[in-house]
Amino acid sequence: MKQEILTVISNIQLNSSTFEMKLSGVTEDMRPGQFVEVALKEKYLRRPISVADYENGVLTLLYKVVGSGTEIMSNIAPGEKLDVLTGLGNLFSIEKTEKPVLVGGGIGVAPLIGLSRAFYKKGIKPTVILGFRNKDEIFYLDEFEKVANVIVATDDGSFGIKGNAITALSSIEKPEFYYACGPMVMLKALSNYSLDGELSLEARMGCGFGACMGCSIKTTDGYKRVCKEGPVFMAKEIIYEN
Ligand X SMILES: Cc1cc2nc3c(=O)[nH]c(=O)nc-3n(C[C@H](O)[C@H](O)[C@H](O)COP(=O)(O)OP(=O)(O)OC[C@H]3O[C@@H](n4cnc5c(N)ncnc54)[C@H](O)[C@@H]3O)c2cc1C
Q: How far is the CB of 227 from ligand FES (least distance, A)?
A: 3
Site string for ligand X, 144-183 (x = CB under 6 A): ----------------------------------------
Task: Rule CB under 6 A: say whether 210 interacts with ligand FES.
Answer: yes
Q: Give 207: exposed, middle or buried? Use CB within 10 Å, 0-12, 13-18, 19+.
A: middle
List binders of ligand X among 19-58 (CB under 6 A): 35, 47-50
Task: Rule CB under 6 A: say whether 228 interacts with ligand X.
Answer: no
Task: Rule CB under 6 A: say whether 110 interacts with ligand X.
Answer: yes
Q: How far is the CB of 66 from ligand FES (least distance, A)?
A: 18
Which residue stretch of 21-29, 127-135, 139-147, 196-204 sits at the interface with ligand X (rule: CB under 6 A)?
A: 196-204
Which residue stretch of 6-14, 50-58, 60-68, 213-221 sits at the interface with ligand FES (rule: CB under 6 A)?
A: 213-221
Q: Which long-range contacts (CB under 8 A, 24 or more apart) does 123-126 make?
A: 124/98, 124/99, 124/100, 125/149, 126/100, 126/101, 126/102
**Contact at 8 Å (CB) between 97 and 40?**
no
Dihedral sign computed on CA atoms, order 21, 224, 201, 40 = negative
Task: Rule CB under 6 A: say whether 212 interacts with ligand FES.
Answer: yes
- Binding residues for ligand FES, rule: CB under 6 A, are 205-208, 210-215, 225, 227
